[in-house]
């Protein structure tokens, strides 16, 4: 759009415009500082010694940079009784997120393809029912899910968490793919059918090659959701199967011993790293997922 606030309106002198432009940059810069401050504080605190934290300033740069807190956070910090850092839990999160993202994306792609391109009677109602499932507060399914996971024999396991994330992820993945495939004319599918191509053939040779952008959006969305999940992780895991978010919370809130703020901060950055990396590398797709996921029904 046009630069409304600082565009030359009637009666504005050059000086006023420069002043406005400067205050604009100052305001924007102020917000930038506010947003960066916590990350800055986390990084600098993680590089300080406990002694320096106690005596120093919250936003001061470390006088003597030390990576001790990082090593402790990775492989020595205590979560309750065990003291093995976030490392095993980080890998738990990887083991949960990778299959759950892959399966829910694949299922969402097929579902979206069916709902958008093979419109049979009732398909829209099924889609609406799935869509509503995206918005329920998960508290309402926690109790029965805990019992069902027990009956299935996967309570407290990585597989159980994968299962839960897939089940409650397909609503969103279906939504993403459906909204994407709906823009492709149904005539294309019809013509391919006339030519003798079947359901999977059409999906495989026509739709999948067109789908790269939406696959990226979906994978990023699902990965961020699952990696950052805490509610399912804390409700359905056991001592050895907790995801990294749960381990981080346990480290920070463990009451035994000296509070090691530098270790807390290093552990938090480690837990945040994968999703931050995804955001930095593919921010455009991340934002598309956010807006598609939360705005368009």
Under rule CB under 8 A, which residues in 64-103 are in contact with other proteins? none
By CB under 8 A, name the one of 58, 65, 152, 208 that touches other proteins.
58
- Does residue 191 touch other proteins according to CB under 8 A? no
- Does residue 137 touch other proteins according to CB under 8 A? yes
By CB under 8 A, name the one of 96, 162, 170, 263 that touches other proteins.
170
By CB under 8 A, name the one of 18, 61, 136, 239 that touches other proteins.
136
- Does residue 167 touch other proteins according to CB under 8 A? yes
CA distance readout (Å), 242 to 48, 145, 152, 172, 249 = 28, 17, 19, 24, 11
- Does residue 19 touch other proteins according to CB under 8 A? no
Q: Please give the structure tokens belonging to residue 192.
A: 């391919």
By CB under 8 A, name the one of 98, 129, 191, 208 that touches other proteins.
129
- Does residue 248 touch other proteins according to CB under 8 A? yes
**Torsion of Cα atoms, 252 then 254 then 258 then 260, to 10°:** -20
Q: Which is nearer to other proteins, 83 or 141 (CB)?
A: 141
d(CA 260, CA 48): 11
- Does residue 254 touch other proteins according to CB under 8 A? no
Contact pattern for other proteins over residues 276 through 295, marking x by CB under 8 A: x-xxx--x--xx--xx--xx
By CB under 8 A, name the one of 49, 66, 157, 235 that touches other proteins.
235
Asked if 39 and 280 count as a contact pair (C-beta separation under 8 A), the reply is: no
- Does residue 61 touch other proteins according to CB under 8 A? no
Q: Which is nearer to other proteins, 83 or 278 (CB)?
A: 278
Q: In this structure, what are the phi and psi dihedrals at residue 135, rounded to the nearest 5 degrees?
A: -105, -5
- Does residue 261 touch other proteins according to CB under 8 A? yes
By CB under 8 A, name the one of 78, 83, 94, 107 that touches other proteins.
107
Beta bridge partners of residue 79, listed in sequence order: 82
Rounded (10°) angle between helices 244-253 and 87-117: 140
Q: Which is nearer to other proteins, 83 or 148 (CB)?
A: 148
Asked if 60 and 273 count as a contact pair (C-beta separation under 8 A), the reply is: no
- Does residue 2 touch other proteins according to CB under 8 A? yes
User: With CB under 8 A as the contact rule, which of the stretches 64-72, 76-84, 208-216, 270-278 interacts with other proteins?
Assistant: 270-278
- Helix ranges (H only) for the chain are 14-46, 50-55, 68-75, 87-117, 123-133, 139-152, 158-181, 186-194, 199-202, 208-210, 212-228, 231-236, 244-253, 261-294
Place of tokens 């504080």: 41
Q: Which is nearer to other proteins, 174 or 241 (CB)?
A: 174
Instruction: State in angstroms the smallest separation of the CB of 89 from other proteins.
Output: 12
- Does residue 145 touch other proteins according to CB under 8 A? yes
Q: What is the 3-state secondary structure (H, E, C) of 127-161?
A: HHHHHHHCCCCCHHHHHHHHHHHHHHCCCECHHHH
Q: Which is nearer to other proteins, 18 or 276 (CB)?
A: 276
By CB under 8 A, name the one of 78, 102, 126, 216 that touches other proteins.
126
Q: Please give the structure tokens belonging to residue 219.
A: 């994978």
By CB under 8 A, name the one of 62, 76, 88, 133 that touches other proteins.
133
Total length of the chain = 297
């Amino acid at each position: 759009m046009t630069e409304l606030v600082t565009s030359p309106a009637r009666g504005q002198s050059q000086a006023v415009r420069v002043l406005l432009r400067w205050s604009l940059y100052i305001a924007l810069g102020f917000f930038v500082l506010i947003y960066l401050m916590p990350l800055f504080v986390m990084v600098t605190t993680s590089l300080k010694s406990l002694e320096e934290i106690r005596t120093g300033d919250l936003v001061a740069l470390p006088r003597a940079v030390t990576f001790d807190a990082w090593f402790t956070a990775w492989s020595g910090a205590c979560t309750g009784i065990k003291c093995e850092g976030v490392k095993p839990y980080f890998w738990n999160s990887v083991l949960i997120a990778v299959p759950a993202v892959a399966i829910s994306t694949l299922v969402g792609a097929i579902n979206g393809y069916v709902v958008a391109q093979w419109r049979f009677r009732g398909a829209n109602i099924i889609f609406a029912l799935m869509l509503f499932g995206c918005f329920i507060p998960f508290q309402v399914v926690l109790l029965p899910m805990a019992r069902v996971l027990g009956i299935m024999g996967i309570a407290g396991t990585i597989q159980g968490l994968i299962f839960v994330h897939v089940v409650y992820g397909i609503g969103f993945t279906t939504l993403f793919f459906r909204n994407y495939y709906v823009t492709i004319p149904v005539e294309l599918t019809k013509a391919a059918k006339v030519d003798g191509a079947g359901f999977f053939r059409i999906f495989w040779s026509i739709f999948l090659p067109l789908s790269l952008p939406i696959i990226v959006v979906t994978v990023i969305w699902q990965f961020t959701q699952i990696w950052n999940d805490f509610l399912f992780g804390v409700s359905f895991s056991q001592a050895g199967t907790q995801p990294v978010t749960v381990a981080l919370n346990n480290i920070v809130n463990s009451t035994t011993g000296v509070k090691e703020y530098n270790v807390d901060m290093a552990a938090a950055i480690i837990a945040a790293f994968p999703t931050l990396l995804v955001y930095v590398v593919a921010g455009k797709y991340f934002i598309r997922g956010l807006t598609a996921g939360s705005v368009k029904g």
